[in-house]
Amino acid sequence: MKWKNLGKDTVIYGLGGALSRGLGFFLLPIYTRIFSTAEYGSIEMLLLTSNLVSLVISAATDSGQSFFFFKEKEHGHAAQKGVVNAVLQWRLIWGLCIVVLSSFLTPMINESFFNFQLSNWEIVLVIVSALFTQILTQCSGLFRLIFRPKGYILLSLCQTTVAATTTLSLVFIFGMTIKAYVIGLASGALIGSIVGIWNIRSYLDFSKSYFNLWPRILKFSLPLVPEALLFYIVTTADRWAIKAYLGQDELGLFAVATKFTMVFAMALEACRQAWLPYGLAAMNDKDGPKSLKAAATMYFGMGVIGIIIFSLVSPLLMYFFTAPAYH
């Protein structure tokens, strides 16, 4: 296990994550003065919808790509290239089917989740952005697999910066609110996916199909979908419950409060992002069990310390980073 390289990559992921995710955190003083609590609640519901669509489009093929990319390493670049293209073609074709189906269901989604407070095209645009996001996440995932943390971070920064810039421009120039956020979200995903595709072009081949690899990849990936769905339910059930029983305003307050967990989550995410390729490599190493145990212990210790520190400073963060209406 190359602990020095792991530490270096963790620092890069940490600093990069602080820049990309931290941008959303530091925009809270502006966003909480632009969006009312009810509008923030609607935005949170849009994100929940987008994440659910993304989960269905992905079908856990991110795990399949990671596993088979390392498995095919001994067979050379061409074999790894086949895995990447098979996953990309799956997401494009299957994702397009899901987007079309979801678009037809938009009126029902609007009535059930938003009480027709949003226009149908806003919901459709969020659903379409989920497809672009899945292309982007595949590209960023590949950067991790080839040990290029800087590429991963720059791609994340590109998406976040474009989304924030577009949103704020539409707010200050045209006076939009939720529409600005939706367009910004879609713009960030679109531009990010284009940049990602360009930067992994050495692994892409549009001259032929790789459908023959789908059965093997899906046989590995699909059994992981229930776990991904369960994780989605566990991590979002509180938001769905607040929306159902307390309404949009309370959901908006809760959504803003959870933004502060990004401060703590960024540190743990840095470790997780850096660890994946090393962990996969350690599985085939004779010292793998020892390395996995040491990394898990370090991760747990950092998490406990972070929770204690974050709990102490969170009231101050809420006071300084939000508008009075959110206090």
> What DSSP letter does each residue of 13-56 carry, written as one string?
HHHHHHHHHHHHHHTHHHHHHHS-HHHHHHHHHHHHHHHHHHHH
Tens of pLDDT along 252-271? 888 888 877 766 666 666 66
pLDDT of residue 14: 56
**227-253: average pLDDT:** 91
The Cα–Cα gap between 189 and 321 comes to 26
Query: SS3 for 104-121, per residue?
Result: HCHHHHHHHHHCCCCCHH
pLDDT of residue 212: 92
Instruction: Please say whether the dihedral angle defined by the alpha carbons of residues 218, 99, 138 and 75, taken in this order, is positive or negative.
Output: positive
pLDDT of residue 132: 96
pLDDT of residue 1: 46
Range of the domain at 152: 3-326
Res 3 pLDDT > 60: no
Highest mean pLDDT among 1-10, 44-53, 149-158, 307-316: 44-53
Nearest to 65 by CA among 169, 213, 174: 213
Tell how many helices (H) and how many strands (E) occur in the chain.
14, 0
Question: Number of C-alpha atoms within 13 angstroms, CB side, residue 168?
Answer: 15
State the first-to-last Cα distance of the chain, in angstroms, to the nearest integer: 47
25 band by pLDDT with thresholds 50, 70 and 90:
confident
The Cα–Cα gap between 135 and 199 comes to 12
The Cα–Cα gap between 251 and 39 comes to 10
Res 136 pLDDT > 80: yes
261-282 and 149-174 helices, crossing angle to 10°: 150
Tens of pLDDT along 157-173? 889 899 999 999 999 99
Higher pLDDT, 97 or 270: 97
pLDDT of residue 95: 95
The token pair that represents 302 in the structure block: 């950092």
Higher pLDDT, 76 or 186: 186
**24-33: average pLDDT:** 81
Res 7 pLDDT > 60: no
**272-289: average pLDDT:** 63
Nearest to 81 by CA among 218, 216, 210, 274: 210
The Cα–Cα gap between 129 and 183 comes to 9
Exposed, middle or buried, 293 (CB in 10 Å: 0-12/13-18/19+)?
exposed
Exposed, middle or buried, 234 (CB in 10 Å: 0-12/13-18/19+)?
exposed
Task: Please give the tally of structural domains in the chain.
Answer: 1
The token pair that represents 306 in the structure block: 């972070």
Nearest to 109 by CA among 45, 51, 181, 41: 45
Output the CA–CA distances (angstroms, integers) from residue 199 to 151, 154, 181, 216, 234, in the order listed.
8, 11, 27, 26, 35
Res 96 pLDDT > 70: yes
72 band by pLDDT with thresholds 50, 70 and 90:
confident
Res 54 pLDDT > 90: yes
